[in-house]
Structures are given as structure tokens and as C-alpha cells.
Amino acid sequence: MRRRWLVIVAGVALWPSVICGQTEFRYVNQSTGPNQFALGFPPPIPRQSSTPLDGFRSYESLHARHQDLMLQHEFISGQVVGASRLGAPIWAYVIGDTDTDTRNAGPEPSILINGGIHAREWGTPELTTGLLEAAVAGAGDGWLWDYLIETLHFTVLPVNNIDGFRQTQRFPTQVLVGADPRFPDRWPRDGRMRRKNLRDADEMLSTYGDHLNGVDLNRNFDPFWGGDPRTSNPIDLVYRGPAPFSEPESQALLAAAELARPDRLRWYQDTHSFTQVILSVNTFNTRRNVLQTRLATTFSEFHNALSVSRHGTQRRYPNSPSQPGSGIGVTTEYFAYTYEIPSWTLEIEPQQTAAEYGGLGTEHDGFILPDSEVRRLRDDMALTHAVVAYQQSGPPSVAAVSIRDEHNAEVYDRRWTYTGPGERTLVAGANAPLVAGLPYSLEITFDKPMRWMGASGATNAPGIAVDLHPRVRLLDENDEVLLELDSSTGQWLDGSSGQSVAQWRFDRWRLDFVISPDQLPAPRGIVRLEIQCADFTGQALDANPATVVDWSDGEWSGYENSAGVPGLSGGADRSLNLRVAATAAEARRWLLADPPEPPERAALIPPDPGP
């Protein structure tokens, strides 16, 4: 009798799973029985710690961390940009100083990074949180992070799909298998493997009727909402929702874009896992596509070299652009087409499976990064994102040039000063002729830190080779080269004793030089100073600092090449002129005669021909 009752009770308990054909599986380290997915490493469990550790933090811990950093640091601000379907406030944070302008280039550019849109992709909230943490750790470096804080409006939405993320953390090892419409026998759904939000779904794993519900927030966006026919099925993994932007989490991302100052946006990233690839969106704007490819290349090459140098492991992120005019409703399409900015989905590691970390390669284990890999991912990715942000903050330009004689007296001084929207004016100071045979010291100041900070000073950034020193030449009025200074003895200044910088380490370069009488150009007198240099991501100079580089209609504006023609690649700055005399007596004669100010090259550069 008692046994019969037990059978009935067990039958009732199993009833929902029987009728829905669903079975609870668990992720385990090594298999010990049926209905298990053996990972080959301990299944990560979210930890209650707001400070970073070797593993994953709970959502509540991450949120406390964000709020704590925001409260403590002037350069991190935050705002509620919406609420999840279950009512959790969705926050976005901005890394940046409190003003809205850069020092010498007008309004700050902006970028937006979204994380945690797919619930099960636990690496992404750690990555986005790592950006805030890296900014705090890097602030005061007088270099990269200080530059970004001063120059950029860097917006991070760390966890977009809060309800879903919490659901996966509520069941960190449990999933249901058996009812997915496409792969009923294989695909684990809900619990640890929930991807969608919680529309029409509750937070319990034991209620089988609703666990396939929810909206894939990354199919809920225009302009290609509904572009994939599978997305119409409400129980499909990629259900698009009843209408574009129907979900409160999608609305929150739109609000985060407003916080990011949409008219200043230059880069959008939606952060996902896995497959270790950049899935970029190509639009019909081929020039935007070119710049996007360059940016993605920097991401991949830098990150790979960083990983090799730190861990001995290659980690390239190939770029796979979409076909213009097609899409499936993902967020990156919205940002690419709406704002004409580089826009991509970052799929973090692994490439295929956790077998890459020694795991057993079980079903869907690519979504489960082992605890032991989390810190590395977080730290390396933060630096990579900083470098990409640095590149997209804009190409470099010459901010000032000064020359001092052997007595440290300034004989030549030119500075570009921001005077209004899109414009700078050249402010001329000392303008004495240089004299052949006498020693001088040239200092060129740029508007961003130009070199990577290595253990022993200025060097190349990992994976990105540029000439370490600028190339400095004197040209005649026909732009023929008269002589080239030996820049190999030049030095990037790092702000240490006797090495003053303008704003950041390595924004100034010094070269001691002598123009020998043998090298003296003929005809003697006015020569053009040509400066060639690229920042540490390889972006060449804006050849004409008079027009401030900005982002407009999907490309750089005001970014002139050596001939003064706006384009995508910049060139050599030939905007400044010098006078060189053969002897001191000649120089004195010129000064006594008070010749007119030599015309600056900027005035000779043809005006922007316009589109």
C-alpha cells in the first residue's frame, strides 16, 4: 500500500516533465550518473563578492560594485536607463570627466558598450564591469586612462538582461532538455542556459510550461526586426518579440544611447559569448566600413599580442562583416544604420568549446568559462577595449612645436588653439631664424599620448608596429625634401624629472639637432617643417590641425592628408614654416630687417572641397 502511494506521488511529481518531454540535466565536473553534462572542470558558481576574484560574481555583487565605484570616483557617473520586465532598475555608467569638452578639440566623442544582453553569457558582465574597474585602477596614470577619462564619454551598460542573468545564476548548474523546437534532444534551455528575457516566463525551473518563453533581446531591434523567419516563434531561442523595441530592456539600451550623447557616438559594441570573433555590421557606407575594419583589426592584433606576451597563448578575433542591407534584428544593426558608426558584436572566447581550457567539450560548454579563466579575460579585455577606445577617440594632430637654442632660449614657438566648432587657430610665438652649425632642441607636442608605455619607456603597443620616432624633414616651397633630421636620437618624454609633457606621458617628443652648413638648404631662408608620425594604433597625423577631426556621416571629417585633402588616412603635417640662416650674421640681418612673418602652410592648404 505504502509503495503504491510512493509511486503515485512520484508520478504526480514527474507529470509536468513527462507531458512536456523535458528532463532536468545538471552540469557537473565529472559524470557520476545519468542526466549530466560533464564539463571536466568545476561548474562555476556565482560568488557573493563585489571585488573581483578568480571566478564569477553574483549580479547583486556586480551591481554593488558598480554603485560603489560610481559613488567613490568623480569620473564615474551613473543613471537608471530603464527597468527590466520584472522591474529591476537597469543602470548605465559613464567613464569620463564631468565636462563635455576636450581641451583642444571641442565636444567629447562618445562610445557605448553593452553587456549581458544574453543571460547565460556570464563572461560579458564581468568584462563590462572590468572596464569600470580598469578605469579606476588606471586613473592617475598620466597616460592612457587619464587620456580616455579626459577625452572620451565612455558609456557602459554592464548588464542589460538582468532578469535573465539572475535566472541563470539562480540555477548555476541546472538546465532543462527536451522541448526545444529545433533541437529537442540536445539543446539545454532555461536555468543556466537561459538566453532570453523573462517575458511570459517565471523564475521557477519546476514550472515546465513557460521555460521556453521570453524574448531574445538581440532580435528585438530595427531596422531588420523579423529578418530571420525563425524569430517569429515565441518558444524559439531567438524569438524576436511582438514588435521592434517591445521589451523594456531594449528601451533601456536606447536610453543608454541617449546617455551616451548619440550625436557624439563613434563606436558601439554588444558583448556576447562565444566563438571569439568580431561580428561587425557593414552598411552601404563603404568608408565607414573601411574604418570599422581598421578598428576591428586593432582589436584583434592588439589583443592577440597582449595574450601572447602575458600568457603565451594566441587569441585573435577575426572580423566577419555582414552584407550591407541585410540583418536579423540585432542591436549592432540598429547602431550601425542609425548612427553610422563602427558597430559590432564581440563574441568572446572560447572559439568553439571549453575543451580549449582542458574541458570535455560537452553540450553548450562554450558558454561556461571556467573560473580560472575569468580574471585573465577581464583584465586583458579591459586593456584591449581601452586601446580601441583610444583609436576611435580620433587621429592625432600636432598641438605645438617649439625650438630652443643651446641656452634654452625659445627661438621658435607655434601652438594650435581651439577657437570654435571644428576650428583651431595657430598662435605664433618666437620666430627667430635657426642658424646652421648651432645646436637646437626641437619639441613636438601632440594632442594625445603617442606611444605605448613599456617597462623601459616609450615603445610600440603589442601587435601594432609603427615607427617609434616621428620623421622630421625640411621641405622647399615645392615640397621637395631639403634635408631630414636624424630622429633616431629623439626621445618621447614621459613626464619624469626634466621631461615635461603637455598633458599625458608620451605626448611630446624631443630631438636635439644641428643643421650642418653642408646640409643647408638652398635657397636659404624659409623652409617647411614636415612631421610624420602615427599614434600607437597606427593612425597617421591629421595633416591640417586648423580643422578639427570629428566623426560625421560615418567617417572622419577634417582629417586631411599631406596634400590637404580630407580622407580616411591622414598624412604628414606640413603646416609650419621655419627660417634657416647660413650664419649668425645672416640671421641678425634678417631680424634687423624685420621680414614679414613667413606664411604658414595652413594658409596654403586648399580649403575642404566638401562632399
Partner 1 sequence: MYRPTGIGWLCAVLLIGSAQAADAPRVAASCPGPVCLEPARFARLLDTASTPALVPPSGLQRSRERADAAVDEVRLNAWLDQLALRGTLAADEREALVRLRDAAPVIWIRHPDHPGYWAPAFAIAARANALLLRDQRLKAVVRMLEDPLALDDAFNAAQSDDDRATLIESAIERGDAAFRQRVDERIAVMAPGRLRDRLRLARARVAPDAAGEVAALVLGAETGIARAALMLAIDRGGAVLQQAAQAAASRPALGGLVVTAHRVSGGDPEQLWTWLESPELGADAARALAEDRPDLLEQVSRRYPIASPLARLRMQLAVRLSGAPDAEALISELTGLAGHRDGSKSVSAAERKR
Residue whose CB is less far from partner 1, 94 or 581: 94
Please give the helix or strand (H or E) that residue 530 lies within, else none.
Answer: strand 525-532
> Grid coordinates in use for 54?
578568480
How many angstroms separate the CA atoms of 543 and 604, rounded?
Answer: 12
Residue whose CB is less far from partner 1, 323 or 408: 323
Q: What backbone torsions phi and psi does residue 277 show, to the nearest 5 degrees?
A: -155, 155
Residue whose CB is less far from partner 1, 68 or 200: 68
Residue whose CB is less far from partner 1, 89 or 209: 89
How many angstroms separate the CA atoms of 164 and 116, rounded?
Answer: 9
Smallest gap from Cβ 63 to partner 1, in A, equals: 8
Smallest gap from Cβ 290 to partner 1, in A, equals: 18
Smallest gap from Cβ 55 to partner 1, in A, equals: 8
Q: Which residues pair with 530 in a beta bridge?
A: 473
How many angstroms separate the CA atoms of 591 and 391, rounded?
Answer: 43
How many angstroms separate the CA atoms of 13 and 7, rounded?
Answer: 10
Contact 257, 110 (CB under 8 A): no
Residue whose CB is less far from partner 1, 68 or 477: 68
Contact 195, 237 (CB under 8 A): yes
Smallest gap from Cβ 360 to partner 1, in A, equals: 4
Smallest gap from Cβ 337 to partner 1, in A, equals: 15
DSSP per residue, 478-503: T--EEEE--GGG-EE--SSTT---SS
Smallest gap from Cβ 12 to partner 1, in A, equals: 31
DSSP per residue, 403-456: EEETTS-EEEEEEEEEEETTEEEEEEEEEPPEETTSEEEEEEEESS--SEEETT
Residue whose CB is less far from partner 1, 32 or 478: 32
Smallest gap from Cβ 279 to partner 1, in A, equals: 4
Smallest gap from Cβ 271 to partner 1, in A, equals: 12
Question: CB 409: neighbour CB atoms within 10 A?
Answer: 10
Residue whose CB is less far from partner 1, 38 or 387: 38
Residue whose CB is less far from partner 1, 78 or 570: 78
- Summarize as ranges the residues that interact with partner 1 (CB under 8 A): 30-31, 36, 38, 40, 47-54, 60-61, 63-65, 67-68, 70-74, 77-80, 182-183, 185-186, 218, 228, 230, 237-238, 272, 275, 277, 279, 320-323, 326, 328, 330, 345, 347, 352-353, 355-356, 358-363
Q: Can you tell me which residue has the cell 588616412?
A: 569
